[in-house]
Amino acid sequence: MTNTIDKKFEKVYSLDTNIILDNATNFLTLSDEGKNLIVLPETVLDEIDSKKSGFDEINFQARSFARLLFDAQIKDKKEYNTKYADVTLTVVETAVQGCTIYIISKNIYKADTDKVSGSIKNDRKILEITQDLQKIEGYEDIKFISLDVMARTRAVSLGIPTEAMNLGSRDEILEFIKEIKIEKAIIEGDDILDYDKDYKPNNFNYLLDDGVQKKLACIQNGKIKLLDEKELRKQNVNPMNKEQLFFSNALLDNHYDIIVAEAKAGSGKTLLAISAAMELIKRKDFQRIVYIRNSVESLAKGEDVGYLSGNDEKFEIYNFPLFDTLAYIASKMIARSNENKQGKGKLDAQPTEELISEKVEQLVERFQVQTMWTGALRGRTISDAIVIIDEAQNMANSTMQLTLSRVDSSCKIIVLGSNRQIDNAYITKHTNGLTTLLNATKDSHEEVNLFGVELHKVLRGPITAFAEKVFEK
């Protein structure tokens, strides 16, 4: 029995379960090559163990952590008494890749005796052990690390220092569209630095104002390329504003390998992406459309829905945005065809649902539209396709890395999402794949040509615009 610990660590961190389920190796980052001690309350292990079965990203992370722990070397087992209360903590010391982990348990929890609600009992047990450790010499400065703001708030109320794991943030404004005044005639191919000395890699688009008119231009390899607005409007979906024009231009230009769009709901991101993908296939630049969306339900409770092979009906709900988009495009195509046959202004009835459904089936077949689920991507290679990754704000960095690593050089990737609509309980806007890719636009990359854009204007209608305005506060 002892009531002190060796002061050989610079910092002591107590981890919440979501830190491990975000990425199984996060504890190694926090350990900083063994300089810091990692504490895992036994409840964290119980929660991770309960997540090992399934096909979602958190299940994969739980299994990955279990494998890391399986290979761990158990170094010691000891018991600690706190200074201020008759509490005995049992500690199993393990070493994983140079990281020291204390797995801590206790016989009786106050959370059990106080009959705390089951939905928050585990959080209380994790915090209870962390609070008990504060009473042992050497642990006084222990910090509780969690991605859950409610758990961190509760920790603060208990006097426990706390912080979110710093996995990268997007504090800097990325100026994807820049407006400047110019004093000389624009010549396509000019170096952008001749017009803007403050040019940065993420300044992909420019409004060049010569005092008479504003010309739209994109920057490729540091050179100015003017947009052909008339040509960009010759699609099934007509770009409605400058943001959409810049987005459509990038979608249709094979210069760009990866396009990242952070956009409000109803801004037309999926519609424009599908429309442009069809145009590219018509040109025979690519062979098919692959639509990928993570399986996270849009529920406040944040339940995860598993997916079993062959259970297509269960996963069908995640493809609604794709098929809603195809139905919209199909209805426009039918209406246009009818107008051409009967003359403009002579079309009275809207296309029937039956006609739209038939047209959608034709579009799926003609453009080889396929849907994929992130849990089924391991071991696969995607070729000769426009790959649309939708709802990227719900993808962990590891999921985005997995998805991008499945795509070969014959593909074009379109990443869509909105950090205003995160439904994944295990990530934040600072820790998802969308933000990581947006941040990547700050630099030039030899491997790929990146493009980033933000779509702020809501075109779906006044109700969507109202919802975005009111609930974004």
pLDDT at residue 206 in the model? 96
Strands 162-163 and 177-181: unpaired
User: In the chain, what are the helix, strand and coil shares in percent, each to the nearest 5?
Assistant: 35, 20, 40
Q: Which residues of 175-197 are buried (b: 16+ CB within 10 A; e: fewer)?
A: ebbbeeeeeeeeeeebebeebbe
Strands 258-263 and 73-81: unpaired
Please list the alpha-helical segments (H only) found in 33-190: 42-50, 57-70, 110-113, 118-133, 149-157
93, two tokens: 């010391």
pLDDT at residue 227 in the model? 95
Q: pLDDT tens digits for 235-246?
A: 888 888 999 999
How many residues comprise the chain? Answer: 473
Tally of domains within the chain: 2
The domain boundary residue, chosen from 163, 196, 229: 163
Are 247 and 359 members of one domain?
yes
**Strands (DSSP E) found in 264-360:** 288-293
Residue 232 lies in a domain: no
Residue 400 lies in a domain: yes
CATH number at residue 125: 3.40.50.1010
Amino acid at 379: G
pLDDT at residue 168 in the model? 47
Alpha-carbon 172 to chain mean position = 18
Please identify every stretch of the chain with a pLDDT value under 70, giving residue numbers as ranges: 1-7, 80-87, 119, 166-172, 295-318, 339-349, 425, 459-473
- Global pTM? 0.68
Alpha-carbon 359 to chain mean position = 32
Q: Which of 281, 292, 260, 314 is nearest to 370 (CA)?
A: 292
Q: pLDDT tens digits for 7-31?
A: 578 999 999 999 998 888 889 889 9
Q: Which structural domain, as residue segments, surrounds residue 262?
A: 240-471
Q: How far lies 123's CA from each of 118, 119, 146, in Å?
A: 10, 9, 11
Residue 335 lies in a domain: yes
Are 275 and 403 members of one domain?
yes
Are 254 and 158 members of one domain?
no
* Contacting residues for 356 by C-beta, under 8 A, at least 6 apart: 327, 330, 331, 334
Residue 101 lies in a domain: yes
Gap between the Cα atoms of 459 and 470, Å rounded: 16
Residue 185 lies in a domain: no
| Phi, then psi, of 45 in degrees rounded to 5 | -65, -40
- Largest interatomic CA distance in the chain: 92
For residue 376, give the 3-state DSSP assignment. helix
pLDDT at residue 268 in the model? 85
Please list the alpha-helical segments (H only) found in 343-390: 353-366
Q: Which residues of 279-311 are buried (b: 16+ CB within 10 A; e: fewer)?
A: bbbeeeebebbbbbbbbbeeeeeeebeebeeee
pLDDT at residue 280 in the model? 96
| Phi, then psi, of 378 in degrees rounded to 5 | -60, 130
pLDDT at residue 300 in the model? 33
Are 426 and 291 members of one domain?
yes
Q: Are 432 and 424 a contacting pair, CB within 8 Å?
A: yes
pLDDT at residue 305 in the model? 41
Gap between the Cα atoms of 323 and 282, Å rounded: 20
Residue 5 lies in a domain: no
Eight-state DSSP code of residue 63: H
Q: How far lies 231's CA from each of 222, 386, 414, in Å?
A: 23, 21, 21
Are 115 and 261 members of one domain?
no
Residue 272 lies in a domain: yes
Please list the alpha-helical segments (H only) found in 134-234: 149-157, 229-232
The domain boundary residue, chosen from 142, 163, 184: 163
CATH number at residue 455: 3.40.50.300
Q: Are 165 and 147 a contacting pair, CB within 8 Å?
A: yes
Segment 63-71 long-range contacts (CB within 8 Å, at least 24 positions apart): 64/24, 64/25, 65/20, 65/24, 68/24, 68/25, 68/96, 68/97, 69/94, 69/96, 71/96
Residue 41 lies in a domain: yes
pLDDT at residue 307 in the model? 37
Eight-state DSSP code of residue 350: P
Q: How far lies 349's CA from each of 168, 327, 345, in Å?
A: 53, 17, 11
The domain boundary residue, chosen from 163, 197, 212: 163
pLDDT at residue 301 in the model? 32
